[in-house]
């Protein structure tokens, strides 16, 4: 049993004991105390699925609606209406203003972020949103480089089910899987030592979901967080669910040097291309370069001129021709 469940059980027991001590009929009030305790625990469990941003916006909207309703009530005093009419109008418009405040607050939750006891109305004033990391991004390891260079400063949330997946990989009998799992665990240890980020282990799980990617997206959606991944399928799933994604592969592609038609490149050809007489080489950043009519030069370093560039989901391909 987890620590959180122990606390919940202890809370329900305290409610039962208080009912037994304070009630005139000990057994009835013990039962009533137990029911109240269980109800509060169930409410608390369901409330965890509501994002703090949405809850804060809703509370702000309700408070704003009550303030406007109070001002409207003070305005009604000027008309000296009958008490019954005045009471009805106050109640009616209070409900209207609360409804409007609640709905407008939820619709505009992206424009401000209210966190008790601090009020922040501009998103520009906020630090980076929390980031949920998945298994692929931890094993990839480039997240550690981004943190160390200062390009990533945020609260990194590592779900417990992601840790479990890493542990399963680390305990695998297959050498490659075992090495990947151990690498992921070492990357997490290194991230914990960095001072410009905070690494938090989340115990929140979704038993009804069997797929880890779906769990990552659900957790990010509840927390109002971004997802950090190198997994193409998780990237697509998160986008469909309206969750922001930080894909380190997209970042790597964006940082690759840009070559324009007519620029010259020197590289070594290492294999044949798909089309006849093509030679293929790679730049230092991994960009594929296809050279026309260069099959006979495979294994040699050549000077080429850029003719065109193709940007695909998997990366950038540069097409060139031989010089001279």
**Mutual angle of helices 212-223 and 232-240, in 10-degree steps:** 40
Residue 18 CB: number of other CB atoms within 10 A?
Answer: 15
List helix spans (H) across 151-229. Answer: 160-170, 175-192, 212-223
Same domain flag for 105 and 169: no
pLDDT value at position 117? 44
Tell me which residue of 184, 157, 158 sits closest to 169, measured CA to CA. Answer: 184
> Domain span at residue 228?
131-253
Same domain flag for 39 and 145: no
Domain boundary among 196, 229, 253: 253
Contacts 24+ apart (CB under 8 A), 40-49: 40/11, 40/15, 41/8, 41/11, 41/12, 44/8, 48/204, 48/222, 49/222
User: How far is 119 from 126, CA to CA, in rounded Å?
Assistant: 11
Same domain flag for 122 and 143: no
At 195, the pLDDT band (50, 70, 90 cuts) reads confident
At 159, the pLDDT band (50, 70, 90 cuts) reads very high
* Residue 257 structure tokens: 């040097």
Please report, for the domain that includes residue 268, its CATH number.
Answer: 2.40.50.140
Same domain flag for 181 and 161: yes
Same domain flag for 111 and 195: no
Q: What value does the mean pLDDT take over residues 32-44?
A: 83
Domain boundary among 105, 126, 147: 126
At 170, the pLDDT band (50, 70, 90 cuts) reads very high
Same domain flag for 11 and 40: yes
Same domain flag for 238 and 274: no
Same domain flag for 165 and 246: yes
At 182, the pLDDT band (50, 70, 90 cuts) reads very high
pTM score above 0.85: no
Please report, for the domain that includes residue 233, its CATH number.
Answer: 3.40.50.1010
The number of domains in the chain is 4
- Strand blocks (E) in the chain: 113-115, 118-120, 131-133, 155-159, 198-202, 226-229, 245-247, 264-272, 279-282, 288-292, 301-312, 315-322
Q: Tell me the pLDDT tens digit for each residue of 218-248.
A: 999 888 899 999 888 888 898 888 899 998 8
Q: Tell me the pLDDT tens digit for each residue of 205-223.
A: 888 888 899 999 999 988 8
Same domain flag for 84 and 190: no
């Amino acid at each position: 049993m987890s620590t959180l469940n122990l606390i919940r059980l202890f809370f329900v027991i305290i409610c039962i004991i208080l009912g037994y001590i304070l009630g005139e009929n000990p057994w009835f009030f013990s039962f009533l105390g137990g029911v109240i305790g269980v109800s509060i625990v169930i409410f608390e469990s369901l409330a965890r699925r509501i994002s703090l941003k949405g809850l804060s916006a809703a509370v702000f909207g309700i408070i704003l609606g009550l303030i406007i309703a109070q001002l409207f009530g003070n305005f009604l005093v000027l008309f000296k209406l009958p008490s019954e009419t005045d009471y009805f109008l106050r109640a009616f418009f209070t409900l209207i203003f609360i409804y409007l405040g609640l709905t407008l607050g939820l619709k505009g939750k992206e424009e401000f972020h209210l966190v008790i006891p601090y009020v922040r109305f501009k998103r520009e004033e906020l630090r980076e949103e929390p980031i949920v990391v998945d298994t692929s991004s931890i094993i990839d390891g480039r997240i550690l480089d981004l943190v160390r260079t200062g390009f990533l400063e945020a609260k990194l949330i590592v779900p417990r089910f992601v840790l479990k997946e890493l542990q399963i990989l680390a305990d695998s009998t297959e050498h490659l899987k075992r090495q990947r799992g151990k690498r992921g665990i070492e990357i997490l240890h290194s991230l914990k030592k960095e001072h410009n980020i905070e690494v938090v282990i989340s115990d929140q799980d979704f038993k009804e979901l069997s797929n880890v990617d779906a769990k990552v997206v659900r957790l990010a959606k509840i927390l109002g967080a971004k997802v950090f991944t190198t997994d193409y399928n998780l990237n697509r799933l998160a986008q469909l669910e309206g969750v922001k994604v930080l894909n380190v592969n997209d970042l790597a592609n964006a940082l690759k040097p840009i070559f324009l038609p007519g620029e010259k490149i020197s590289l070594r050809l290492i294999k044949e291309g798909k089309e006849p007489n093509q030679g293929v080489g790679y730049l230092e950043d991994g960009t594929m370069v296809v050279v026309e009519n260069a099959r006979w030069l495979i294994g040699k370093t050549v000077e080429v001129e850029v003719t065109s560039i193709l940007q695909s989901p998997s990366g950038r391909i540069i097409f060139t021709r031989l010089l001279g």
